Amino acid sequence: MKSLDDLKKIRDAAQRKVTMRGKNEGTRILVGMATCGISAGARPVMNKLVEDIAEKDIPNVTVTPVGCIGECAIEPIVEVLEGEKRTTYCRVDVDVAERIINEHIIGGKVVQDNLIGKYRL
C-alpha cells in the first residue's frame, strides 16, 4: 500500500509527462514515429528526448510523436521547431538525441553533424 504522499508524487510525475507531450507552446520537438521511423529506432530516440527533458527539468519544451515525415531512408528524423525556425535532424540515435538536448536545446547551438542537408537524397 502506498502512502498519500507517494500517490501524489506518482500523480505529479504522470501529469508532467502528459503536459510534456501535449503542449504546443515554446520549443516543439517532433519525432517521426511512422512504421519507417519506428523500424529505424525512433522509439528509443523519443524516450531519450522525453527522459532528458524531464531529468533536466527544461521548461517550455514539448516532445510530440508525428507520422511519416517523408524521408524514410534517413530515419529516425527529429525536427526542432522554435517559433518559425525549423531544424531537421536525421539518422538520429540515442547519442545524437542527447546531443540535441545538450547542444541545441540547452546550449542554443545546432548539431551540424546530423542536419538533413548532409543526407538528403
* Contact residues for 71 (Cβ-Cβ < 8 A; gap 6+): 77, 90, 116, 120, 121
Total tally of structural domains belonging to the chain: 1
90 is a domain residue: yes
pLDDT exceeds 90 at position 69? no
Q: What is the pLDDT of residues 88-118, one digit of tens each?
A: 999 999 999 999 999 999 999 999 999 988 7
77 is a domain residue: yes
Helix or strand run (H / E) with residue 47: helix 42-55
The C-alpha cell 529506432 sits at 41
32 is a domain residue: yes
Three-state DSSP class for residue 29: strand
10 is a domain residue: no
The tally of CA atoms less than 13 A away on the side-chain side of residue 32 is 24
Q: What range does the domain containing 28 cover? A: 24-118
CATH number at residue 48: 3.40.30.10
19 is a domain residue: no
4 is a domain residue: no
60 is a domain residue: yes
Check: CB of residue 91 under 8 Å from CB of residue 69.
Answer: no
Q: What is the pLDDT of residues 34-54, one digit of tens each?
A: 999 999 999 999 999 999 999
**Residue 1: its pLDDT value, please?**
67
18 is a domain residue: no
DSSP per-residue letters across 86-97: EEEE-S--HHHH
pTM for the model stands at 0.77
